Structure 1
Amino acid sequence: MADGGKMVCVTGASGYIASWIVKLLLRCGYTVRATVRDPRDAKKTEHLLALDGAKERLKLFKADLLAEGSFEQAIEGCDAVFHTASPVSLTVTDHQTELIDPAVKGTLNVLGTCTKVASVKRVILTSSMASVLFHVPHLGPNDSIDESCFSDPIICADKKLWYAVSKTLAEVEAWRFAKEKGIDLVVINPGLVLGPLLQPTLNYSVSLIAGLIKDKNDSVNKNSRLVDVRDVALAHVKAYETPSANGRYIIDGPIVTINDIEKVLHEFYPDLNLVDKNEASEIIPVIYKLSVEKVKSLGIEFTPTEVTLRDTVLSLKEKCLV
């Protein structure tokens, strides 16, 4: 729980994970300074201003990842900074300008500001499993993944996984800078994040489920791992509140097949047929060993996959996005 209503900053606050972080922080009694690209854009801010406690303890600030010093006003006086702002897209025309520069330069911009603000005790960075998984050309069932694994930007670039390149380079630079400047940095590495939306628009990960429902096509991998947005947001808050928290925290779920997803979607859409059953029986899961013991040590209990999927669909229907 909050200690005397401390003040914290959340960057990119209108995003999917960030909105849930803001919601949890307000619920815990914190005062939140939230950065967005345009505080006057109601579509991006209304859902934040409607949160419990927002009227009293939420203030919006305009900030741009690539504008040096633009986070200073928001971070001034804060005890911690949750840096979530980073572009998420798998289809870009110019990966350097659209993904890599905002991710890397934006992270260094925010960390640089933190070094100038004496009140900041800890920075919690939202990274991704994309900066963990691609350290060998192909993961096999005997490969173990834990917090020591870093993606190889060269392997990622060869596969044209530009999002993975952006997240890996941003995280590597963050660790280098934090070490150099003595910043207490904690990093959260989530997998594919699903669960209910607070924002009114589709984000990348939830759009995969919306695509399955709307197009009846198979836009999700045959086998995926997914994690609940509420668990990911809680991991961020716990990483701030737990004095001993340190390093990286992988947060990802067990393997989910397209059949598992179809089963839940069928409750809502009985006529939906995502997979040819003969094809499904031939699916060989991409299994690698994954350790999530470290994040569990923060007190995170994972939401069951069915609950996450069901709540995702209910949220999509409620917001008229399918």
Structure 2
Amino acid sequence: MGTPRLVLITGINGYIAAHTAATFLKAGYAVRGTVRARTSNVESLVRALGQYHDGSRLELVEVPNISVDGAFDRAVEGVQAIAHLASPVSMTETDPAPMMRAAVQGTTSLLASALAESKRESRQGALKSVVFMSTISAVFSPSKPAGHAFTEADWNDVAEAEVSRLGKDSPGYVIYQASKTAAERAFWKFGQKVEARFGMTALCPAPVLGPPLYLPDPIANLSMRVKDIYDILHGGPIPEFSPIRSTFIDVRDVAELVLRAVEKDEQTEGGQERYLLVGQSPISPQGMADVLRASFPQWQSTIQEGNPGETYPDMTWRFDAGKARTLLGRDWIGFEQSVVDSAKAFVDAEAV
């Protein structure tokens, strides 16, 4: 066997990134992951990934501040692919400047390092693919008319203007949407300005559900939408309606699409593609409660009943993820399975 191809995954201890690392390891790649520091959660990740390799195909690199120029210079050395999943996330932040700066500069800093690396390597070992993890929040815009079908051609044209208008009074979720939108715009602007020798792909996933590869400590650090399942299972309130919450994608499908995007770039040269990832719509937080009550009868007295069977009123926007479904090459993992598998991870951990 020859030397395995090497992929860099930024923010490898994140929820989606952990599954992405496992997917690449299972596919035979060597994985280099960036972390801010070696924490107990990072060690939990290393143990979880141990089942997918023989101990020689996983490497960690500390990058304390992703927005510093040259932050990724060491991390990109010798890689054939990059999956940029590290991004600041806070729903309680009210000052948009730090989060916007970190999201945008973290992306441009990585791309600058990637471009320099692609010019150094021989053609055989060259960097061929950079995948950027965006979000459906960079696609969906409430300004669109009723009945609009969102596709990869759409952009959030509200969030950035909103944080500019509100400044330090901006809600956390708007800052998040604006930061991710600005970071993806910076990703594509870079691609337009330079002649990159590597393919560039942006994935825009709906809210992500599915079993965590490892449980963070504290559990409050669960990825936001998966934490909805955890909270409902433990008697918490059923979240309120929002248009984006009417969509979902399973984390295992997202991870596999990162791999598929890299494999596609290995076969072609210098392409640029954007994908909207929606596994099922419409779904609802009430649907989470309904699935949990049906699948875990021993928890029925804890899980709030809510309004069984309730769906979103007047949900006329649609989401067309046919392009991503074609790249995946199989059916999406369904909402019910994703909710059950997520909850099972929590129930099994608490039974130990």
Query: What is residue 315 of structure 1 aligned with on the other side?
Result: 345
Query: What is residue 275 of structure 2 aligned with on the other side?
Result: 249
Query: Does residue 260 in structure 1 map to residue 287 in structure 2?
Result: yes
Structure 1, 220-229 or 161-170: larger mean CA deviation: 220-229
Query: Does residue 218 in structure 1 map to residue 238 in structure 2?
Result: yes
What SS does the corresponding residue of 2:74 show, helix, strand or coil?
helix
Q: Aligned AA for 2:206?
A: G
Query: What is residue 122 of structure 1 aligned with on the other side?
Result: 129
Q: 1:281 to 1:26 in 2, by over 3 A?
A: closer
Taking the aligned partners of 1:114 and 1:196, their CA distance within structure 2 comes to 32
Taking the aligned partners of 1:3 and 1:90, their CA distance within structure 2 comes to 45
> 2:204 pairs with 174, 179, 189, which one?
189
Q: Aligned AA for 2:320?
A: S
Query: What is residue 286 of structure 1 aligned with on the other side?
Result: 315
Taking the aligned partners of 2:162 and 2:263, their CA distance within structure 1 comes to 34
Q: Aligned AA for 1:56?
A: S
Gaps of 5+ in 2: 119-125, 217-221
Query: Does residue 231 in structure 1 map to residue 225 in structure 2?
Result: no
Q: 1:102 to 1:273 in 2, by over 3 A?
A: same
Query: What is residue 306 of structure 2 aligned with on the other side?
Result: 275
TM-score, length-scaled by structure 2:
0.83
1:202-243 Cα offsets, whole Å, 9 max, x none, are 122211222222343122537621110000110111011013
Matched-pair contact (CA < 8 Å) for 1:125–1:186 = yes
1:33-77 Cα offsets, whole Å, 9 max, x none, are 110111x21322332344121611000000121222121111100
Query: What is residue 172 of structure 1 aligned with on the other side?
Result: 185
Taking the aligned partners of 1:154 and 1:16, their CA distance within structure 2 comes to 26
Matched-pair contact (CA < 8 Å) for 1:235–1:300 = no
> 1:198 pairs with 208, 213, 220, which one?
213
Q: 1:283 to 1:28 in 2, by over 3 A?
A: closer
What fraction of aligned residue pairs are identical, expressed as a percent? 26
What SS does the corresponding residue of 1:103 show, helix, strand or coil?
helix
Taking the aligned partners of 2:31 and 2:59, their CA distance within structure 1 comes to 6
Q: 1:218 to 1:155 in 2, by over 3 A?
A: farther
Structure 1, 155-164 or 260-269: larger mean CA deviation: 155-164
Matched-pair contact (CA < 8 Å) for 2:239–2:285 = no
Taking the aligned partners of 2:304 and 2:145, their CA distance within structure 1 comes to 30
Matched-pair contact (CA < 8 Å) for 1:234–1:300 = no
CA drift at 1:100: 1.1
Matched-pair contact (CA < 8 Å) for 1:15–1:199 = no
Query: What is residue 20 of structure 1 aligned with on the other side?
Result: 19
Matched-pair contact (CA < 8 Å) for 2:246–2:282 = yes
Matched-pair contact (CA < 8 Å) for 1:19–1:48 = no
Matched-pair contact (CA < 8 Å) for 2:238–2:286 = no
Taking the aligned partners of 1:47 and 1:147, their CA distance within structure 2 comes to 32
Taking the aligned partners of 1:8 and 1:139, their CA distance within structure 2 comes to 41
Q: 1:115 to 1:220 in 2, by over 3 A?
A: same
Matched-pair contact (CA < 8 Å) for 1:104–1:173 = yes
What SS does the corresponding residue of 1:77 show, helix, strand or coil?
coil
What SS does the corresponding residue of 1:74 show, helix, strand or coil?
coil
> 1:151 pairs with 131, 142, 156, which one?
156
Matched-pair contact (CA < 8 Å) for 1:48–1:54 = no
Q: 1:49 to 1:228 in 2, by over 3 A?
A: same
What SS does the corresponding residue of 2:185 show, helix, strand or coil?
helix
RMSD value, Cα: 2.3
Q: 1:81 to 1:239 in 2, by over 3 A?
A: same
How many matched pairs?
A: 314
Matched-pair contact (CA < 8 Å) for 1:147–1:250 = yes
Taking the aligned partners of 1:55 and 1:221, their CA distance within structure 2 comes to 45
Taking the aligned partners of 1:260 and 1:232, their CA distance within structure 2 comes to 21
Q: Aligned AA for 1:166?
A: S
CA drift at 1:179: 1.7
Taking the aligned partners of 2:311 and 2:232, their CA distance within structure 1 comes to 20
Query: Does residue 87 in structure 1 map to residue 88 in structure 2?
Result: yes
